[in-house]
Amino acid sequence: MSDSRAAMVAETHIATVFFTGDRAYKLKKPVRTGFLDFTTIEARERACRREVELNRRFSPDVYLGVYDVRDEEGTVCDHLVAMRRMDPESRLSALVRMGEPVGGPLREVARRLAAWHAGAPRSPEISQEGGRDALRRRWSDNLSETVAYGLPGAEEIEHLVLRFLDGRGPLFARRIADDRIVDGHGDLIADDVFCLPDGPRILDCLEFDDRLRYLDGLDDAAFLAMDLERLRAPALARDFLDRYAEFSGDPAPASLRHHYIAYRAFVRAKVGCLSDRPAVAREYTELALRHLRAGSVALVLVGGLPGTGKSTLAGALGDRLGWSVLSSDRTRKELSGLAAEQSARAPFGQGIYDARTTKETYARLLDRAGKLLGMGESVILDASWTDAVFRDEAAALAGRTHTDLVALECRVPAEVAAARLRARRGGPSDADVRVAEAMAAEAVPWSGATAVDTGRPVDACVEEALRAVRPHGHAHHWPRRPQMAPD
């Protein structure tokens, strides 16, 4: 353990910190930057008092108060923040680097952050700063401020950001309606969390600009998750956000998690650029890009003739990714007032398989998918997709919702499909060999679809499908929303 009582001085670009005994004293520098002005004693005093006031929300026993600084004649010449001194070896970042177990402290940080968010101030002004337009503006500002540095991947980042924001209006509206926008911490990184025997202490919230502290609670938590991943601890990052979601009862989709992590990473990339640390800036940029790719919202069409295994592939792919799977067979039965397993067998194009019901089925599928896509949920649609008209309607939906469209066509030899259909017992599909032959005769070739040979084991088919759905890899996808805590 280091000597936590040795006298020392540390400097940042806006403050000087004096350490002596079990105390730390922070003196604001008389500087002006693009985001603050400490050039007058009055401004520095206001900043000191604001820092203590805001940080006592998280660690009241650390921030002791504001002290006067007097000259030799006893005149107040400045002010400083008095704090309880923290042992640097108890920093969360240090413990993570050393491989120490930090699951307990992280769970407590998640609990405390969620507890603060639950009762944090809210107002129309706060909600506005956490909405989609404000987020777009901050992204735009950060991208503009880094363009001169030529960060690799910046153009793709901008494309993915705008695509996500443009298509997720309902999601961001719901976040505001559900009071998810709060006056939070705003700068939660592992360096500023100290793990003490009686619980963690959270320091150094963002105090110089209230608007930057007004944010979605998930955005607040995502900052620390991003920082943990930067420290090569992605499992801790995932677990921390899972615990935050559990304590806050937040049903946010994985895509929003990824987006906020990417935003926080790119903010750090900008800081790396401005502080002339190009390697750091590139590292954060790569992290942002990985999460934006993983968080891209997708509409996946899994199709093929009866007996080709499209429902099996769609279900397995949905399980692997944690995405919603909507089935045309089940939707058709629902529209007809039938139970999913209830037989409605009929010749091709007749009964509940006539043209009118088929059109209604696809319209209902796409309507449901559109609502989910707008809420940031990727969707897998399990249907035959043998009619080009319905495929065009799905493509139009993907365009309207600024969503990635992926088409997968399941294929096996006709005799294999026929054998499967003869062996089928029960299930929502009523297709038999004759129906399959009739559908094959009328099917329009599916140009642009990725053909998947479903005569192989399911796992092999899923891996091939994943390469089409996530061409950059899916290792960083966080597959399932965490289970909510019981009431």
Examine residue 474 and state whether it is found in any structural domain, yes or no.
Answer: no
CB of 182 within 8 A of CB of 121? Answer: yes
- Specify whether 276 is located in the same domain as 342: no
Examine residue 142 and state whether it is found in any structural domain, yes or no.
Answer: yes
Alpha-carbon gap, residue 133 to 456, rounded angstroms: 47
When the pLDDT of each residue in the chain is averaged and rounded to a whole number, the result is 94
Q: Three-state DSSP class for 206?
A: coil
What letter would DSSP give residue 345?
-
- End position of a domain, from candidates 55, 84, 113: 84
Q: Three-state DSSP class for 302?
A: strand
The band of 474, judged by pLDDT with boundaries at 50, 70 and 90, is: low
Domain that holds residue 145: 88-294
- Specify whether 128 is located in the same domain as 62: no
Q: What is the CATH number of the domain that holds 191?
A: 3.90.1200.10
Examine residue 3 and state whether it is found in any structural domain, yes or no.
Answer: no
Q: Where are the alpha helices (DSSP H) in 295-345?
A: 310-321, 328-335
Residue 481 has pLDDT above 90, yes or no: no
Which pLDDT does position 258 carry in this prediction? Answer: 98
Angle at Cα 439 formed by Cα 434 and Cα 445, nearest 5°? 145
Examine residue 478 and state whether it is found in any structural domain, yes or no.
Answer: no
Examine residue 286 and state whether it is found in any structural domain, yes or no.
Answer: yes
The HSE-up count of residue 281 (CA atoms within 13 Å, CB side) is 21
Examine residue 487 and state whether it is found in any structural domain, yes or no.
Answer: no
Choose the weakest-confidence range: 50-54, 81-85, 427-431: 427-431
User: Which residue carries 């923040």 as its tokens?
Assistant: 81
- Burial (CB count within 10 angstroms: exposed 0-12, middle 13-18, buried 19+), residue 254: buried
Residue 152 has pLDDT above 70, yes or no: yes
More confident of the two residues 485 and 432: 432
> What pLDDT digit, counting tens, does each position of 305-321 carry?
999 999 999 999 999 99
Residue 487 has pLDDT above 50, yes or no: no
The HSE-up count of residue 468 (CA atoms within 13 Å, CB side) is 19
- End position of a domain, from candidates 294, 324, 357: 294
- Specify whether 233 is located in the same domain as 333: no
- Specify whether 233 is located in the same domain as 304: no
Percent of the chain's residues with pLDDT above 70: 96
Q: What is the CATH number of the domain that holds 19?
A: 3.30.200
- Specify whether 335 is located in the same domain as 457: yes
The band of 181, judged by pLDDT with boundaries at 50, 70 and 90, is: very high
- Specify whether 448 is located in the same domain as 340: yes
Mean pLDDT computed over 274-289: 96
Which pLDDT does position 479 carry in this prediction? Answer: 40
Examine residue 173 and state whether it is found in any structural domain, yes or no.
Answer: yes
Residue 1 has pLDDT above 60, yes or no: no
Which pLDDT does position 3 carry in this prediction? Answer: 52
CB of 287 within 8 A of CB of 230? Answer: yes
Mean pLDDT computed over 424-430: 86
Cα torsion for 65, 187, 110, 239, to the nearest 10°?
Answer: -150
Residue 477 has pLDDT above 90, yes or no: no
- Specify whether 68 is located in the same domain as 97: no
Alpha-carbon gap, residue 13 to 81, rounded angstroms: 16
- Specify whether 267 is located in the same domain as 303: no
Examine residue 477 and state whether it is found in any structural domain, yes or no.
Answer: no
- What total of structural domains would you count in the chain? 3
Angle at Cα 332 formed by Cα 328 and Cα 334, nearest 5°? 120
Which pLDDT does position 486 carry in this prediction? Answer: 29
- Specify whether 441 is located in the same domain as 320: yes
Which pLDDT does position 4 carry in this prediction? Answer: 59
- pTM, two decimal places: 0.92
